[in-house]
Amino acid sequence: SQLQSSALARVKPSATLAATAKARELKRQGRDVIGLGAGEPDFDTPDNIKAAAIAAIQRGETKYTDVDGLPELKAAVVAKFARENGLTYGTDQIHVAPGGKAVIYNSLVATLSPGDEVIVPAPYWVSYPDMVLLAGGEPRVVIGHEADGFKLKPEALEAAITPRTKWLILNSPSNPTGAAYSADELKALAGVLARHPHVWVMTDDMYEHLIYGDFEYTTIAQVAPELYDRTLTVNGVSKAYAMTGWRIGYAGGPKPLIDLMRKVAGQTTSNPSSISQWAAVEALNGPQDFIAERGRAFERRRDLVVSMLNQATGVRCPNPEGAFYVYPSVEGLIGKTTPEGTVIDGDETFATALLEAEGVAVVHGAAFGLSPYFRISYATSNEVLEEACSRIQRFAASLK
């Protein structure tokens, strides 16, 4: 008999983790590799947050906590939603789990029955469709085209909804495109959802604080309060506070849903690390100024990368509103041949040939559900980004 379960057999391994592992392997072999695959800030966790964790250990805060979060952390999350998003939640409407990833997975496991559908706009974060499959549901991918800023159009949403639709997943700013929805765009989607009261909305706001220029960040429950009773607002400390390794994510939503998510966590992970939770309390309640400072550094990097990629032959790079990703098109390179004789027949061949020729690791667009594109994470230094983009320019120019 087969070792792998039928549920897991439907799931692909994470393409972004695979790209990172491949780059690491080439580095070990002594190759000069620049990895632009990883989705985490290069900045360190701020010292006040580290100190709060150390103090928690010294106070003996080393025991189990409530399954879905310490009361102090839930209170900090409630205050955050009120302060930054104009959203009112009680502490009994908050779920804390080991990362945003676990929050999303708990919500899907809690709610999906076989045959239930989840609308996943593409380009999507790699984990959404596979988490839906693992939870027993059916992802329904709907493309957001480049001409529409890679965003889901209301008509496309309307056409994708069926009686089996359980959730729509929104992610703004987006991994992998950096695209963010304006308040008007969210209201237009809410207008469609108003006609379909059986559809819930999960909004993944992980990149909320990474927003550039004069774009104004909003989240759907804030601009469409009529959806409050069927919206799960997901966020976390990983990206905003450079805390990817601490594993704390959280969400606010209707109490009946939060109760089901607690039931899942209670029989699987139990609470996230008590020490990390105390660090997250300090992150949310402590000084916030460094977020804007780091945001300005990210914005300069975005400008650098967009400008240098648009100077590469056959590459077209849209200028995204947020996050730390760009999603350039390689349409202009399809059909060309490398000096070694490889024909670029799609974005996966492009990414592999780029890695072999110039040692630059990117993730091909097919992994995110829209080709022919690739994703660059620009959460690394200006010097490294300049060198990487020069190599991409040289590689693009070498294709005939």
Site for ligand PLP in 300-339 (CB under 6 A): none
CB of 249 to ligand PLP, least distance (A): 4
Residue nearer to ligand PLP on the CB measure, 125 or 200: 125
Which of 121, 249, 272, 320 touches ligand PLP by CB under 6 A? Answer: 249
CA 242 to chain centre: 14
Query: What DSSP element (H or E) covers 277?
Result: helix 274-285
Residue nearer to ligand PLP on the CB measure, 168 or 308: 168
CB of 390 to ligand PLP, least distance (A): 27
Binding mask 209-238 for ligand PLP (x = CB under 6 A): ---------------------------x-x
CB 78 within 8 A of CB 209: no
Q: How far apart are CA 157 and CA 149, in angstroms?
A: 15
Residue partners of 158: CB distance under 8 A and separation at least 6: 192, 195
Q: Is 244 in the site for ligand PLP (CB under 6 A)?
A: yes
Q: Is 100 in the site for ligand PLP (CB under 6 A)?
A: yes
Stretch that binds ligand PLP, among 96-104, 192-200, 219-227, 335-343 (CB under 6 A): 96-104
C-alpha distance across the termini of the chain, in Å: 50
Residue 228: how many CB atoms within 10 A of its CB? 18
Q: Is 125 in the site for ligand PLP (CB under 6 A)?
A: yes
CB of 344 to ligand PLP, least distance (A): 27
Tokens of 131: 């988490």
> Where are any strands of DSSP class E within 218-320?
231-236, 249-252
Residue nearer to ligand PLP on the CB measure, 146 or 204: 204
Query: What DSSP element (H or E) covers 165?
Result: strand 165-171
- Closest-by-Cβ residue to ligand PLP is 99
In a 13 Å sphere around the CA of 142, the CA atoms on its Cβ side amount to 21
Which of 95, 101, 166, 375 touches ligand PLP by CB under 6 A? Answer: 101
Q: Is 368 in the site for ligand PLP (CB under 6 A)?
A: no
CB 355 within 8 A of CB 19: no
CB of 356 to ligand PLP, least distance (A): 26
Residue nearer to ligand PLP on the CB measure, 99 or 328: 99
Q: How far apart are CA 371 and CA 116, in angstroms?
A: 27
Site for ligand PLP in 169-198 (CB under 6 A): 171, 175
Q: How far apart are CA 16 and CA 166, in angstroms?
A: 27
Q: Is 123 in the site for ligand PLP (CB under 6 A)?
A: no
Tokens of 58: 């010294």
Q: Is 272 in the site for ligand PLP (CB under 6 A)?
A: no
Angle, nearest 10°, between helix axes 347-358 and 382-398? 110
What residue ranges bind ligand PLP (CB under 6 A)? 39, 99-101, 125, 171, 175, 204, 206, 236, 238, 244, 249
